[in-house]
């Protein structure tokens, strides 16, 4: 009996080892593809970021290029711009949460309201940028509204001054994210068991108490997903919008990291500096991803 059990265990071990080998062999093509199309370009970017590269020849300089970059006042201004855009992330999440809650409760006119909210998700960044220029430039829709309500002293070309230009880009970014984040929160709300709300209503819980103590906690994972998606969009998806609205100006007032890569590499010809900024952007996004993984792991 004992011998038979030992043979079964040995056979199971051999089967497990064979499956492990087969799994490794099946993974090899995928690893090669990932290495060829992702790891190798990243490695090249890291190498060229420490060189004086004009697109044809590269002269090795070393890690000192990063020290010089972080002493560059223009680069620090660009980081500041990205930081200012990050201030709009809570708004880009909070507003869709309220809208999703209203649509989920099917308030009056919710179908029309839903169509208007989802509109930005169906058009490109270029179109959004063109619309934004019509709103914030002088003369524009915003100036017309300010004049009509007696606030003509506030009229100006909002895209011609650094402070108002970055504000205009931030507001346009928030508007463009409303539809996407509303969809995310509506999806989350549809997964909540209605019996939970019914039990809360039986306990005489108010609408705000239900929203704050039931809906929001149960949407935790959707908050995390929306947070990461919004931040990644702010760092990597606004090139077309900024190109159309301001061209990165005035005086680098709306230049973000991704737009600065374009300016340095393709406008000036400093491909090494462009690669270095790309590496910095990659590190930031990896940091955001690690925070996301840490938050998700903390739930278990």
Give the tens place of pLDDT for each residue, 206-237. 778 888 888 888 898 899 889 888 998 999 88
User: pLDDT band at 21, cuts 50/70/90?
Assistant: confident
User: How far is residue 137 CA from its own chain's centroid?
Assistant: 26
**Coil, helix or strand for 87?**
coil
Indicate the pTM of the whole model.
0.83
Q: How far apart are CA 285 and CA 291, in angstroms?
A: 10
Q: How far apart are the first and last CA of the chain?
A: 42
For tokens 């007696």, what's the residue? 150
Q: Identify whether residues 207 and 76 lie together within a single domain.
A: yes
What local confidence, expressed as pLDDT, does residue 206 receive?
77
Whether residue 219 is contained in a domain is answered as: yes
pLDDT over 60 at 92, yes or no: yes
Q: How far apart are CA 265 and CA 271, in angstroms?
A: 4
Q: Identify whether residues 31 and 98 lie together within a single domain.
A: no
Whether residue 62 is contained in a domain is answered as: no
Which CATH number is 202's domain given? Answer: 1.10.3720.10
CA torsion through residues 249, 250, 252, 253, sign: negative
**In total, how many domains does the chain have?**
2
DSSP, residue by residue, 96-144: HHHHHHHHHTT-TTHHHHHHHHHGGGGS-HHHHHHHHHHHHSSS-HHHH
Domain that holds residue 177: 67-297
Q: How far apart are CA 131 and CA 129, in angstroms?
A: 5
User: How far is residue 90 CA from its own chain's centroid?
Assistant: 12
């Amino acid at each position: 009996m004992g011998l038979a059990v030992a043979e079964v265990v040995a056979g199971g071990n051999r089967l497990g080892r064979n499956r492990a080998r087969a799994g490794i062999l099946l993974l090899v093509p995928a690893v090669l593809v990932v290495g060829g199309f992702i790891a190798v370009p990243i490695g090249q970017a890291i190498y060229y970021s420490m060189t004086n590269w004009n697109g044809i020849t590269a002269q090795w300089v070393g890690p000192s290029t990063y020290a010089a970059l972080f002493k560059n006042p223009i680069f620090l201004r660009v980081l500041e711009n990205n930081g200012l855009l990050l201030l709009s992330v809570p708004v880009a999440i909070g507003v869709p949460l309220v809208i999703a809650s209203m649509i989920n409760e099917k308030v009056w006119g919710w179908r029309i309201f839903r169509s208007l909210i989802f509109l930005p998700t169906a058009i490109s960044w270029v179109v959004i940028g063109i619309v934004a220029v019509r709103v914030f430039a002088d003369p524009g829709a915003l100036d017309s509204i300010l004049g009509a309500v007696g606030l003509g002293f506030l009229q100006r070309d909002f895209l011609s001054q650094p402070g108002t230009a970055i504000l205009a880009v931030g507001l346009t970014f928030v508007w463009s994210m409303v539809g996407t984040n509303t969809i995310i929160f509506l999806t989350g709300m549809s997964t909540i068991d209605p019996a939970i709300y019914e039990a809360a209503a039986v306990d005489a819980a108010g609408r705000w108490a239900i929203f704050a103590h039931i809906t929001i906690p149960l949407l935790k994972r959707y908050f995390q997903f929306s947070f990461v998606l919004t931040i990644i969009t702010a760092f990597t998806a606004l090139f077309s919008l900024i190109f159309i609205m301001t061209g990165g100006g005035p005086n680098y007032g709306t230049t973000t990291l991704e737009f600065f890569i374009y300016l340095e590499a393709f406008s000036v010809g400093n491909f090494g500096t462009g690669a270095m900024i790309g590496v910095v952007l990659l590190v930031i996004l990896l940091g955001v991803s690690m925070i996301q993984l840490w938050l998700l792991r903390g739930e278990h």
